[in-house]
Amino acid sequence: MSDCLFCGIVSGDIPAEIVRSDDATVAFRDVNPQAPVHILIVPRRHIVNASTVDGGDGDVVARMLMAAKAVADDEGIGGEDRGYRLVFNVGPDALNSVDHLHLHLVGGRAFDWPPG
Ligand code: AMP
């Protein structure tokens, strides 16, 4: 999508601090981090958000989860003694601001549950 911010990052037209990429996904640091580690994992293919995922997207969603695990390990928070949170925001109540599916990986500190 020509006017999509994250499509621009995937294509390289918009700069980002990319930490991992493969044929299905790109992972880059969030520009406004909410934790010591805050990385967004996005599909290369434009999908609007988690509520628009359908059966044909199963492989790419699995690849996003696998990429998140690899990034967490690379960041040193993937071990059993640490951990991290994975979040999909959908809609205004969740403060979803970019309409390209993205998985937030946040970690490097402890989080409350339920979230505030
Ligand atoms: P969400 O609120 O779930 O839609 O998340 C969008 C996220 O994208 C926010 O955490 C923003 O800080 C982040 N973001 C917006 N623009 C950029 C950018 N150019 N590079 C990296 N992260 C961005």
Instruction: Report the pLDDT value the prediction gives residue 28, as an integer from 0 to 100.
Output: 99
CA of 42 to the centre of ligand 1 (A): 11
Give the number of the atom of ligand 1 that is nearest the alpha carbon of residue 32: 12
Q: How far apart are CA 9 and CA 74, in angstroms?
A: 21
Question: Would the CB of 13 count as within 6 Å of ligand 1?
Answer: no
Please report whether residue 64 resides in a domain: yes
Range of the structural domain that residue 88 is part of: 5-107
Q: How many domains does the chain have?
A: 1
- Cβ contact 5:100 at 8 Å: yes
Please report whether residue 67 resides in a domain: yes
- Cβ contact 47:53 at 8 Å: yes
Please report whether residue 63 resides in a domain: yes
Please report whether residue 112 resides in a domain: no
Pocket residue to mutate for ligand 1, from 10, 32, 38, 106, most atoms within 8 A of Cβ: 32
Please report whether residue 93 resides in a domain: yes
Please report whether residue 113 resides in a domain: no
pLDDT tens per residue, range 52-100 = 999 999 999 999 999 999 999 999 999 899 999 999 999 999 999 999 9
* Mean of all residue pLDDT scores within the chain: 97
